[in-house]
Structure 1
């Protein structure tokens, strides 16, 4: 748990600061005002390699020594970032082999960020050197408490095709498969005459006609990218831990082709996330009941699944946008505070804002911070000041409490990575995950996002009454046994179409769909179809209620056991009248199978039949209000977040204490626009 690592007694706040961007005569006033805002932490240095090493082998620390000393003067704790996300010009000019290469063989040049590759021995060596020098210099500094490895690993690009990567992948594949026969079998190379006869022929996927790379090789490629990223982080983490026992290690982000669960478990002390809910104003969402900034509750739930409570190293504090893209309007009054509470509601113990002052130079000069260029007071500062005072009051009580959920959406990296190429199910995973998250959110049922892998146990799953596992095309015999045991012990599980027909290589079994879970759900798939892009959407009726569109993919189900209950049918097309949703009691629990892709409307209908425990005995809440629950040994906290731009009525059915005012409240109440309330029992 993060609270055992950072040694705090309350939820703390802070900010990202770049002293190298500002005249030295601004620093002390900046730190003084940070402290006045109630900040505890300041994060710096993740893009400052040239400041520390202006030329190879020559190290300078004066600038950051002064900045850290001034921060310490105001009792600010410093988090230093290793600066490997942006290698210096002298480095890429002298050692161009460190640069990343696109899938088409084009080498990326200096001028942006994240333009290196993880497997370059020279880059690993130079990164180890700068990390060693920095940690050696700052390991005894009383104000430096922790290290952030790199910055946003795999952000912006998560594929690597430099010569060093091809060579490392060959070695990775050789270690995994031991023989070419095993590799050829796993990759199905007998198809289209791709059989390898020498290890020298093996590489990452290469440009092909119609971009038709071998899908099984491409799946292994994603696993390799993740292992390469984790190995790069491990090189740095090992150095830090060898040189100091008193400073913790983390990294920030959540990006593609990276097993963040393994990273958290094996490499870092806790996970840090960068939360930018204002992206919702850039992403066009035409789906039913769009989540908008509430989608970051889904992201935060995913982060919480990596290893429990976490930190926020970049919390959006202003309008966002680069010079050339990502244009975001200013947060509405109240939204910065709302988003800060959103992070805390989902398990954050530390919130650092990005950034202290908006940059006056470079690509991010429109990615606004707390302060504007002119350094004058603004409404964002006033809002954060109000929030800081509230956290000063409730932060000690909330600190160390954990998010409470009795339902979970299962995720896994194998299907996520395989589904990137496989359009016969890959796109459905995200659609159905979001549909179910909406159903839980809008019915005020807290939910976890839980990763399932070969280490997952029945004990881990059994803390949930309900599991949702949509479109797990890759599903092994071992996983099927695990899920069967979960149901036998009393759990409820819901599957969607395209489940259980692939093995870990991404090759289909020669078994009736849905493979190894057929006995659990008591059905087989008798027919199926991908819904064509220009076809009218088929319809489905569930629980004898109104018809809903069954988008994407449809399976006609056949009940193989007398105890299978048919809960829904298709109502048109050539499979009108055929089963679409089934339910089977197995042991003490229940397994559902839906032969389609979940929409919000379909998920909500199935949710009503699942009958999850909720908090309706305590609250009557409008749809726009999220309910999050955190609990410690002494008390349960109910956090209500209003995402609406206008006031919302609500009802408190039992007397509770408003934790921000210490008043007892009950009955009909009103949440103002973007308001947050925290309640507990007296």
Structure 2
């Protein structure tokens, strides 16, 4: 319970405007709820009742309407037609399905686009998007923002007090709004003026004395050409922040309009793709909670073993769970892959059992709802060949559909066994936070120093090690409370303010245990290098100086030597000079600084600081050092193989196997509710906690 309350406290620090206790929407004993997208406008109305009845019979508890239906909701300017949607809502209610209502702002109708072409996004090269796809309208178009809110207001007036409508989804998979049109240009200048107040403050922040870049008035500033070599890095970074804020503020505007005409029992959310350089995720303060979209098998990730691509990369759901959960009082998954997709690089069939595995993994992280795109497989349009819960005949369940049905049956088993929210004490003792700021990732991407660097891959080396320990992990921001976490990992936190450095120091002196990685605190919060020694503000914190850093060629890796083993590295290495009393846990080998320190450990106040100065090639150094830290701290950890994930929630333990080999989980037979101790590939084991 203390663990769950920590999640809630951290979320409230990030966003304090949630309208209602989320337990009133998703009671604890419900555990989770499952739904499916349905598009009445895609099918003959004579089939609606059959489809919604089938959805209910398979165990789904809600459905999802009107996501891309603006042309049907407003067929002519100012003429609204909700009659067809009313009939669909009535049929859903007839079969016990709650309805999630969606705003259709991802797909404006053609009459709007043709009458007001200025709503279309303009690319950097001056070309415009056109009608016929989605997300082609700009959130920076003043007309588009204002007109779309009129449509949303009408929708909210019609359904805002309808008890059959459980909540609202805004837009669909909103992402960074990048537009080079005239409205975007004006709004960018206004945004800069609001942020900096004076042109002198902007010049200082951007360092415009460099290359004669000085401005004398905000009207001189254009949207930066990102493809033009040498553009001011801080101007580009601010433009990215502006584009993200255009997205988050548009969602906030939608939520405000809905809330004026809806009752508090209806929640408001949106569904994000988990981009870890996206600042808009968690930025909209008017949402009640957030959800994410996740597809696992589409040709990009090999998984584990020869056929692992049919199961997917296990960290994709794990990290999304742990990233989204602390940003919101609760989280859900709005689109979970039901089977084969049509838009990937290689659209393979998932392995039998994979869909059910993903459902359990989403649930294991704490999700309160899961929805799938889509109930019926489409027979026309861009997403032909994309699986649904039922196939193109509209009747026959797909394998993934049957796995959704199995999962929902199994959740009913857990509901019957639910007695509370117990979590093992040893699980809580391993609780770890990762300090993460997407703005840091965006800033590093602009100036990598080596093409071999990848921030997400670097973070995953620490994250995967922590999950192998069986540690519950939260990705947190520097505005949140550090004190509830015995261990705090800070990977590649390049932009770090003195306030954050001071906060970390206080955390350690009070008894916290800090693990910091290379490429941390090189710059202040404005992205400027310190007018001091390299990364000097953290020297007292880490108990060492960073003499310099080095970057190797891919064909010439070197080695870090530790008592636990030798580890190859290539991408980044901070060469350290430990202070008196600081332990050296590893040294460089193979180049002109052979024998210099790569890893340090020292005590500061009641806590400890470990600095891992290199990014290893395989993540084995990160795993070894973290393992040594936890052993030094006398925190017991597990040793799960990569691809085995174990989590606890609501009085249940859940183990999942993404590997290509069976895994034996030491659980008493008498406690097992679902599965067996020997967990096969794609298998799931669920047991009761004492």
Matched position secondary structure for 1:419: helix
Which position in structure 1 is the counterpart of 2:459? 433
Which position in structure 2 is the counterpart of 1:226? 244
Classify 1:49/1:5 alpha carbon distance in 2 versus 1 (closer, same or farther; 3 Å). Answer: farther
Which position in structure 1 is the counterpart of 2:259? 241
Does structure 1 residue 640 correspond to structure 2 residue 651? no
Matched position secondary structure for 2:124: coil
Structure 1: gaps spanning 5 or more residues: none
Counterpart among 191, 199, 214 of residue 180 in structure 1 = 199
Which position in structure 2 is the counterpart of 1:659? 673
Matched position secondary structure for 1:101: coil
Matched position secondary structure for 2:514: strand
Q: CA deviation at 1:377?
A: 3.7
Counterpart among 497, 500, 521 of residue 518 in structure 2 = 497
Q: CA deviation at 1:656?
A: 5.7
Does structure 1 residue 354 correspond to structure 2 residue 373? yes
Which position in structure 1 is the counterpart of 2:403? 383
In the aligned structure 2, how far is the partner of 1:568 from the partner of 1:646? 34
Which position in structure 2 is the counterpart of 1:606? 625
In the aligned structure 2, how far is the partner of 1:346 from the partner of 1:392? 18
Which position in structure 1 is the counterpart of 2:679? 671
In the aligned structure 2, how far is the partner of 1:308 from the partner of 1:163? 38
Classify 1:425/1:44 alpha carbon distance in 2 versus 1 (closer, same or farther; 3 Å). Answer: farther
Q: What are the residue-to-residue correspondences of 1:83-482 with 2, within 5 Å?
A: 83-154=104-175, 158-206=177-225, 209=228, 211-245=229-263, 246-254=265-273, 256=275, 258-260=278-280, 262-263=282-283, 266-279=285-298, 281-283=299-301, 292-322=313-343, 325-374=344-393, 375-395=395-415, 401=421, 406-424=431-449, 427-452=453-478, 455-456=479-480, 460-482=481-503
Matched position secondary structure for 1:659: strand
Q: How many residues align?
A: 655
In the aligned structure 1, how far is the partner of 2:266 from the partner of 2:419? 21
Kept in 2, the 8 Å contact 1:622–1:649? The answer is no
Classify 1:438/1:656 alpha carbon distance in 2 versus 1 (closer, same or farther; 3 Å). Answer: farther
In the aligned structure 1, how far is the partner of 2:293 from the partner of 2:193? 36
Which position in structure 2 is the counterpart of 1:35? 56
Kept in 2, the 8 Å contact 1:219–1:505? The answer is no
Q: CA deviation at 1:302?
A: 1.1
In the aligned structure 2, how far is the partner of 1:125 from the partner of 1:595? 50
Classify 1:562/1:377 alpha carbon distance in 2 versus 1 (closer, same or farther; 3 Å). Answer: closer
Counterpart among 25, 32, 35 of residue 14 in structure 1 = 35
In the aligned structure 1, how far is the partner of 2:151 from the partner of 2:212? 47
In the aligned structure 2, how far is the partner of 1:163 from the partner of 1:29? 49
Does structure 1 residue 563 correspond to structure 2 residue 581? yes
In the aligned structure 2, how far is the partner of 1:490 from the partner of 1:615? 14
In the aligned structure 1, how far is the partner of 2:628 from the partner of 2:302? 32
Q: What are the residue-to-residue correspondences of 1:521-670 with 2, within 5 Å?
A: 521-534=542-555, 536-542=556-562, 544-559=563-578, 561-598=579-616, 599-611=618-630, 622-631=641-650, 636-652=651-667, 657-660=671-674, 669-670=677-678
User: Deviation digits for residues 426-451 of structure 1, max 9, x if unmatched?
Assistant: 94421221111221223333322222
TM-score norm. by structure 1 comes to: 0.91
Does structure 1 residue 48 correspond to structure 2 residue 69? yes
Matched position secondary structure for 1:321: coil
In the aligned structure 2, how far is the partner of 1:85 from the partner of 1:579? 53
In the aligned structure 1, how far is the partner of 2:497 from the partner of 2:193? 23
Q: CA deviation at 1:548?
A: 1.0
In the aligned structure 1, how far is the partner of 2:593 from the partner of 2:64? 59
Classify 1:604/1:293 alpha carbon distance in 2 versus 1 (closer, same or farther; 3 Å). Answer: closer
In the aligned structure 1, how far is the partner of 2:669 from the partner of 2:636? 14
Does structure 1 residue 80 correspond to structure 2 residue 94? no
Matched position secondary structure for 1:505: coil
Structure 2: gaps spanning 5 or more residues: 1-7, 9-20
Q: CA deviation at 1:621?
A: 5.2
Q: CA deviation at 1:472?
A: 1.1
In the aligned structure 1, how far is the partner of 2:567 from the partner of 2:639? 27
In the aligned structure 1, how far is the partner of 2:546 from the partner of 2:327? 34
User: Deviation digits for residues 498-551 of structure 1, max 9, x if unmatched?
Assistant: 2112122211111223232111111111122222355x0121112x23221122
Matched position secondary structure for 2:372: strand
In the aligned structure 2, how far is the partner of 1:337 from the partner of 1:398? 21
Tell me the C-alpha RMSD between the 2 structures.
2.6
Which position in structure 1 is the counterpart of 2:88? 67
Q: CA deviation at 1:398?
A: 6.2
TM-score norm. by structure 2 comes to: 0.90
Does structure 1 residue 485 correspond to structure 2 residue 506? yes
Matched position secondary structure for 1:370: coil
Matched position secondary structure for 1:278: coil
Classify 1:255/1:677 alpha carbon distance in 2 versus 1 (closer, same or farther; 3 Å). Answer: closer
Matched position secondary structure for 1:420: helix
Matched position secondary structure for 2:671: strand
Q: CA deviation at 1:286?
A: 11
Matched position secondary structure for 2:34: strand
In the aligned structure 2, how far is the partner of 1:159 from the partner of 1:312? 25
Q: CA deviation at 1:337?
A: 0.8
Classify 1:558/1:392 alpha carbon distance in 2 versus 1 (closer, same or farther; 3 Å). Answer: same
Classify 1:622/1:178 alpha carbon distance in 2 versus 1 (closer, same or farther; 3 Å). Answer: closer
